[in-house]
Amino acid sequence: MKRALYLLGIVMVVGIMAIGCGKSDSATTTTSEAPTPEVSVTPPAGPTLVSQSACPVSGTPIDKTKFRDHEGQRVYFCCDNCPKAFEADPAKFIAEMKTEGIELEKAPG
């Protein structure tokens, strides 16, 4: 008799689990509607290039007498200290300016 109750208990637990699974399955199937496409994504940086106006190191306005030429591009700075930071990792600063849509001047010759 005790054994029968024990088995009944197992059957009930398994049954509840099965119902739980069934519910979650139906829930996922009902919510799997076609997702609405998000149109609020800003288009990738296109032809909106701006000339450099800020020091890539400090972000302050550039002094056109202070610059470094890097791989054919002229990079302006605000002071004499920033080119040192730039030259430590020029690729990083140029990549940052590119992501901001800054078009660097061509270094003459």
- Ranked by CB distance to Zn ion, the top (closest) residue is 82
> With respect to Zn ion, which residue has the nearer C-beta, 25 or 96?
96
For 9, the 3-state DSSP assignment is helix
Q: Can you tell me which residue has the tokens 């972000």?
A: 59
Binding-site size for Zn ion (CB under 5 A) equals 5
Distance (Å, whole) CA 26 – CA 24: 5
In the complex, the smallest distance separating the C-beta of residue 102 from Zn ion, rounded to whole angstroms, is: 16
> With respect to Zn ion, which residue has the nearer C-beta, 25 or 100?
100
Would you put residue 34 in left (φ > 0), alpha (ψ -120 to 50) or beta?
Answer: beta
Binding to Zn ion in span 73-102, by CB under 5 A: 78-79, 82
Site string for Zn ion, 38-77 (x = CB under 5 A): -----------------x--x-------------------
Q: Is the CB of residue 79 less than 8 Å from the CB of residue 66?
A: yes
Q: What is the DSSP string of 79-91?
A: SSSHHHHHHHSHH
In the complex, the smallest distance separating the C-beta of residue 82 from Zn ion, rounded to whole angstroms, is: 3
Binding site for Zn ion (CB under 5 A): 55, 58, 78-79, 82
